[in-house]
């Protein structure tokens, strides 16, 4: 598991993690973002996008065939700005 922290003036303002696993149904390594959080008062300023960009770089370096973001259905639209280049969601859970 890899962890990423966004800081501003010595305060943690964002956090994300990346879990890389081999997945048979993807025929390769998959990077899964299990948590992506940005302080509520700072959302919409690109902090989440910067965290995701760093994760994308690392996943590419480690030869992941895809990246998945685990999120609640009601938050999907929030993440669409920086996940629009990814494949369409394949896994839906209630």
Q: For position 22, what pLDDT does the model report?
A: 96
Q: For position 88, what pLDDT does the model report?
A: 46
Q: For position 68, what pLDDT does the model report?
A: 87
CATH of domain 2-71: 3.40.630.30
Angstrom distances, CA of residue 10 to CA of 5, 7, 14, 53, 76: 11, 6, 12, 21, 30
- For the chain, domain boundaries: 2-71
User: Does pTM surpass 0.85?
Assistant: no
Q: For position 89, what pLDDT does the model report?
A: 52
One DSSP character per residue, the chain reads -EEEEEEETTEEEEEEEEEEEEEGGGTEEEEEE--EEE-GGGTTSSHHHHHHHHHHHHHHHTTEEEEEE---GGGHHHHHHHHTTSPPP-----
Q: For position 78, what pLDDT does the model report?
A: 59
């Amino acid at each position: 598991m890899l962890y990423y922290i966004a800081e501003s003036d010595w305060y943690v303002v964002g956090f994300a993690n990346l879990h890389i696993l081999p997945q048979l149904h993807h025929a390769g390594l998959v990077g899964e973002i299990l948590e992506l959080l940005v302080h509520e008062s700072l959302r919409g300023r690109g902090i989440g996008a910067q965290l995701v960009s760093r994760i994308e770089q690392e996943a590419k370096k480690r030869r992941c065939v895809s990246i998945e973001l685990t999120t609640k259905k009601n938050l999907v639209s929030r993440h669409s700005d920086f996940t629009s280049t990814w494949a369409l969601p394949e896994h839906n859970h209630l």
